[in-house]
Amino acid sequence: MPTDAFPQIGPLITAAKADGIDARMVLARVLTDLFVGRLWHTHDELIQFEALVEPMIRVIDTRTAVAMARKLASHAETPRGVIEALLAREDEASYEVLRDAVMLDQRTLDILAERGSGLVAAAIASRDDIAEATARILAYRDENQTDLALARKPKLDLPLDVVSLLCARARGNAELAKLMLSRPNLGFRERCALFLEAEPQERAAIAAEATHRSFLTRARPSPFARKDIDEIVLSLAGKGKEILAATLTDWLSLRPEDAQAIVDDPTGEAFVLALRACGARPAPIVALLLRRGLHLSRSVERIFSLERLARETSGAAAAMVVEAFAQIRPRPSRHIAAQRPLREAALSGGEPAHAEAYPRRERNR
C-alpha cells in the first residue's frame, strides 16, 4: 500500500493509534473531505482510501456515517467497497447512499428494490430519477413509506399503472392523497378518485371540470337518474345515516362502505353529487340537507355553497365524479333481441331469402 497517497493524515493516524484516544470519527471525516476534494484519483489513492475507510465505517457512529455518505454517494470515483460498507450498516447512512449514489447500475437498484428492507426501498424511491421497472417494483411492495417517497417526487414521471395504484391506496390516507393531488400531471379520473380526500378548492375544481367535460362531449344524462326522484328525496328528510346510506347503495349500486363514506362526509358535497347523479334537482337536495339527521354545518355559507354545487354540476358530471371515487358495481346490460336481416324480414315465409333466387334483369341495349 503506498504511504504517500494522503500525506496530510500522518499526524491523525498517529493520534488514532495512541492509547485512550479514539480519533476514528475525525479521521473518517478528514479522509472523506480529502477524497471528494479531487475529481480524479490515481489507482493507488483509491486502494489506500478504501483500505483506510472501509474498516472505520463499521465502527463510527451514525452521525459521522451519514455525513460521509452524503459526500461519497455523489462522488463518481468512490470505491465500490466503500459504498457496500455503507449499505451494510442498514441505517440512515445506507439511506443517503441509495438516494444519491451515482455508481449504482439499474440491475443493482432493481434487486435492492425487490429484496431490500423497507428503509432500502424508501431510499431508492427517493432518488431523483428511477426507471419505470424500478417504480413498479417499489409500488408493488405495498409499503406506505415507499409509496410516500414515490409521491413526494412531483417531477418524477411515474408509469400510469403506478399512479393509479398509488391513487387507489390514497383513499383514506390523507398524507398520500395530498401528495398525489399535488402532482401537476395527475389525470382527471385519478383526481376524481380522491374527491373525498381533496381540499375544498380542489373539490370545486374537480366538479367544475367534470361539468365542462360533460358539456364538451355532449354526455348523456346520468344513467342512474330515477323517476319521481324529487319526491323520494323529500321523503328521506329527517331519516338517519343508515337509511340514507342504504338508499344510495340501492340507487347507485354502491358498496355499503362507499355509500356510508359519502353520507359521513362532513362537508355534504359528496352527498350532493350522489343525489345529483340520481337526477335530483337542487331545491329538494337543499331541503333534505336542512332536515336530515346528520352532523352537517347548517351555516348560511355552507348551505349556499352546497346549493351552488348542486345547481352548477349536471347529473352526468356528478355521475362521472361519483363513479371515480366510489366503486359502482356494474349493472347487467340490457338484452336486445337480434334483429332479422332487412331482406329476410320483408319476405314472406314461402319466398326465398337468398340473392341467387332472384332473376337478374337485363338492361335493354
Contact 248, 263 (CB under 8 A): yes
Our CA dihedral for 264, 269, 270, 273, rounded to 10 degrees, sits at: 140
Q: 46: how many CB neighbours lie within 10 A of its CB?
A: 17
Q: Which three cell numbers stand for residue 222?
A: 346520468
Please provide the DSSP assignment of 213-256 as one string.
HHHHTTPPSPTT--TTHHHHHHHTTT--HHHHHHHHHHHHTB-H
Q: What is the pLDDT of residue 298?
A: 57
Our CA dihedral for 240, 243, 249, 250, rounded to 10 degrees, sits at: -150
Q: Find, among 51, 126, 64, the residue nearest to 91 by Cα.
A: 64
Can you list the alpha helix ranges (DSSP code H) found in 37-153?
Answer: 43-57, 62-72, 80-88, 92-100, 106-115, 118-125, 132-139, 144-151
| Model confidence pLDDT, tens digit, residues 99-143 | 888 778 888 889 989 988 888 899 999 888 889 999 999 999 999
Q: Which residues contact 203 (CB under 8 A, 6 or more apart)?
A: 195, 267, 269
Alpha carbon 229 to chain centroid distance? 36
Q: 276: how many CB neighbours lie within 10 A of its CB?
A: 29
Q: What is the pLDDT of residue 165?
A: 92
Q: How far is CA 357 from CA 348, 351, 352, in A?
A: 14, 9, 6
Q: What is the pLDDT of residue 297?
A: 53
Q: What is the pLDDT of residue 351?
A: 46
Q: What is the pLDDT of residue 8?
A: 56
Helix (H, G, I), strand (E, B) or coil at 259: helix
Q: Which three cell numbers stand for residue 268?
A: 355534504
Q: What is the pLDDT of residue 22?
A: 59
Beta bridge mates, 254: 328
Q: Which three cell numbers stand for residue 113?
A: 428494490
Global pTM? 0.70
Q: What is the pLDDT of residue 329?
A: 53
CA distance 315 to 297: 24
Rounded average pLDDT per 10-residue block, the chain, 365 residues: 53 58 75 86 85 87 88 86 85 85 84 88 89 93 94 85 92 93 91 92 92 78 77 83 89 90 90 92 87 59 88 90 77 40 46 47 50
What length does the chain have? 365
Element (H, E) at 27: helix 24-36
What does residue 254 show for φ and ψ, rounded to 5 degrees?
-85, 160
The residue behind cell 332479422 is 340
